Chains A and B, each alone.
Chain A
Amino acid sequence: MAARQQQQQGASTQGKTYQFKLVLLGESAVGKSSLVMRFVKDHFDEYRESTIGAAFLAQTISLDDNTTVKFEIWDTAGQERYKSLAPMYYRNANCAVVVYDITQSASLEKAKAWVNELQRQADPNIVIALAGNKSDLDSRRAVETETAQAYADEAGLLFFETSAKTAHNVTQLFTSIAKRMPLDQLADQSRNKNKGLNPRGVDLSRPTNPNNCAC
């Protein structure tokens, strides 16, 4: 799996930090950005405009004393609305949260389409979680938990009903993704892969060596 890992020798711990790219998908207005804001900032904005959000945000989860998982979370920034989600978005994604709204049954159908799209475009080993958001609106429920669970089981997805508003299951969602990541395999790969190579390629901000510079 094309993951980026860092084996950080932190001052306080000798643990490893594994970094993963996580992408969010789902129909507009199902609460993708709100889920991330809850997870990263523990904050919910009732009147959040259908926007934009961040290009990506970072958040870490400690699985145990020695293992930290850092998610680099990419938001669609509304690009899903007009078929304009760039291939760059799926590129090297290690995990995905596909979100639907439990009060809109059409949004589950859309989520299924996104799962298919991920299986077509993304890394074959990608870990996918299905999130039925807005679980606080149970009185307006249009998708039964069992229906979504059955689909998730059949498609091999993690599944949670969440509420970005009440924070229900939000941390659990991201933690179980972190636990599902194949950390041992990645550690093996990284030992071979990082030998003498900068995994991030050329650093453009590296200053020019003044001794070589012709200008």
Chain B
Amino acid sequence: MDEEYDCIVLGTGLTECILSGLLSVEGKKVLHIDRNDYYGAECASLNLDQLWNKFRPGQTPPESIGRNRDYNVDLVPKFMMANGEIIRFLTHTDVTRYLEFKQIAGSYVFASGKIYKVPSTEVEAVTSSLFGLFEKRRAKKFFEFIQSYREDDPSTHQGLNLDKNTMIDVYTKFGLAPASQEFLGHAMALHLDDGYINQPARETIEKIRLYAASMARYGKSPYLYPLYGLGEMPQGFARYPISLSAIYGGTYMLDKKVDEIVYDSEGKVSGVRSGDEVAKTKLVICDPSYASNKVRTVGSVVRAICILDHPIPNTSDADSVQVVIPQGQIGRKHDVYVACVSSAHNVCAKDKYLAIVSTIVEGNGNPEQELEAGFKLLGPIREKFVSVSPLEEPLADGKDDQVFISRSYDATSHFETVCDDVHDLYKRITGQPLVLKQRSTQEQEQAEMAA
């Protein structure tokens, strides 16, 4: 590794692998290192041995839960919005050539002690028992507004200015009751707390539209999921630069200790040291764990990975679901999420289910207890692995030292904020906005080669 590189990337999380792939394709010589012996960093999918090694070192998984190789257990609970930016990343880079996707079978919201399927169109709003009789009509009017809204056609704005009016103004205009507000803000806009209510309405309206458009795309839920787990995505992007025409593929090194990021006398990055080897570079991209003195903690997330012998009750035996438990239902400030996938996604043994219960930590006492409302929905839990992860963000934008640090994977249930971070980092690194170009498909590439 004692060479000079245009860029050194530390950590093989999704953000880092996307950026590393993009820079390689642009012709940069990239060295990509991870301290772990697997791809994915904080968004890896682990087999049983790796899972036990991480959470219960020295112990071995019980044989009764199945074979090691059948498991790909995600560390973070995230799905892909079917109409989201992540899909654009995957299709434009043609990383889809390596991956297969399945729909998440259902999305649910917890209200008054029960779980309901999330309605996302005016037709579903009218038929859902989530809304009372009078509320149905008001909800229907709101959905019609959402679906017919056109930015360039003021007649569809119904007198609202999304940059000036707050979301509470919008709710008031449609006469929506607090229960409906909670549903729209938390189960559809997927806000984690109620802070959005007094913000300009645009962000929330766009989130609701994204949810509805994603739902409309394939039908069962707004979410897609890669077979074999989320860890396939960083692996796919790691192969992305490898093409018939590419001059450089990034060099990947796993299971490689990273001792320090080295700086010159002016405080600019000059290399990365591992043992007595130093790889030279003028540009480093890394996740927060590789630059702990240059990040701040803005909160923490508690996540419980649960192995179940059964589907989540009251979901019609769905092979995969998301359940949102809005904060107002359980006397909290932040929602609790349940995300479940199963052997249908090749992430665990047959007839097993993997559920992750997560929330933003509010108290200092017992974070696991903050997940209680989620555990109650699961029924008996076979194995449970609880972890608390700090939410970290860089102190600086990286322009001074040329060390560009990604954000931790947050508590949202999808990859939209990860894509935001990629766009933001790319712009800070290159000074240019990221414009995704459509990559040739495998077939086109081979046809070009033959020609």
- Chain A residues with CB under 8 Å of chain B are 41, 51-58, 75, 77-79, 81-84, 86-88, 91, 121, 200-202, 204-205, 208-209, 212-215
Bound state CA distance, A215 and B96, in angstroms? Answer: 24
Which chain B residue lies CB-closest to A214?
B212
Cβ contact within 8 Å between A214 and B242: no
Which chain B residue lies CB-closest to A82?
B253
Shortest Cβ gap from A74 to chain B (Å): 9
Shortest Cβ gap from B365 to chain A (Å): 39
Tell me if B351 counts as interface (CB < 8 A to partner A): no
Identify which of A52, A88, A205, A209 contacts B98 (C-beta below 8 A): A88
Cβ contact within 8 Å between B242 and A54: yes
Which residues on B sit within 8 Å (CB–CB) of A57? 446
Cβ contact within 8 Å between A58 and B446: yes
Using known A-B contacts A202-B101, A213-B216, A214-B147, determine if residue A82 contacts B256 with beta carbons closer than 8 Å. yes
Cβ contact within 8 Å between B253 and A204: no
Which residues on A sit within 8 Å (CB–CB) of B235? 86-88
Bound state CA distance, A84 and B98, in angstroms? Answer: 17
Which residues on A sit within 8 Å (CB–CB) of B39? 84, 86-87
Tell me if B399 counts as interface (CB < 8 A to partner A): no
Cβ contact within 8 Å between A214 and B216: yes
Identify which of B102, B103, B218, B445 contacts A54 (C-beta below 8 A): B445
User: DSSP majority for the A interface?
Assistant: loop
Bound state CA distance, A77 and B87, in angstroms? Answer: 25
Shortest Cβ gap from A44 to chain B (Å): 15
Shortest Cβ gap from A28 to chain B (Å): 12
Cβ contact within 8 Å between B37 and A208: no
Which residues on B sit within 8 Å (CB–CB) of A202? 100-103, 218, 224
Using known A-B contacts A83-B37, A214-B212, determine if residue A77 contacts B249 with beta carbons closer than 8 Å. yes
Which residues on A sit within 8 Å (CB–CB) of B445? 54
Cβ contact within 8 Å between A55 and B91: no
Tell me if B160 counts as interface (CB < 8 A to partner A): no
Tell me if B146 counts as interface (CB < 8 A to partner A): yes
Bound state CA distance, A101 and B244, in angstroms? Answer: 24
- Chain B residues with CB under 8 Å of chain A are 37-39, 69, 83, 87, 90-91, 96-98, 100-103, 121, 146-147, 209, 212-213, 216-218, 224, 227-228, 231-232, 235-236, 238-239, 242-244, 246-249, 251-256, 442-443, 445-446, 449-450
Using known A-B contacts A52-B246, A214-B146, determine if residue A121 contacts B69 with beta carbons closer than 8 Å. yes
Using known A-B contacts A84-B254, A214-B212, determine if residue A53 contacts B146 with beta carbons closer than 8 Å. no
Which chain A residue lies CB-closest to B47?
A87
Which residues on A sit within 8 Å (CB–CB) of B83? 208, 215
Bound state CA distance, A208 and B217, in angstroms? Answer: 5
Using known A-B contacts A82-B254, A214-B147, determine if residue A55 contacts B216 with beta carbons closer than 8 Å. no
**Max chain B Cβ within 10 angstroms of own Cβ: one of A81, A201, A213:** A201
Cβ contact within 8 Å between A212 and B256: no
Bound state CA distance, A121 and B72, in angstroms? Answer: 13
Shortest Cβ gap from B239 to chain A (Å): 5
Cβ contact within 8 Å between A215 and B244: no
Shortest Cβ gap from A19 to chain B (Å): 13
Using known A-B contacts A88-B235, A201-B100, determine if residue A55 contacts B254 with beta carbons closer than 8 Å. no
Which residues on A sit within 8 Å (CB–CB) of B96? 204-205
Identify which of B213, B216, B218, B442 contacts A58 (C-beta below 8 A): B442
Shortest Cβ gap from A211 to chain B (Å): 9
Using known A-B contacts A83-B37, A215-B213, determine if residue A55 contacts B239 with beta carbons closer than 8 Å. yes
A-B contact pairs, 20 of them (CB 8 A): A51-B249, A54-B445, A54-B446, A54-B449, A55-B442, A56-B442, A77-B249, A78-B251, A84-B254, A87-B231, A88-B236, A204-B91, A205-B91, A208-B217, A214-B146, A214-B147, A214-B212, A214-B213, A214-B216, A215-B213
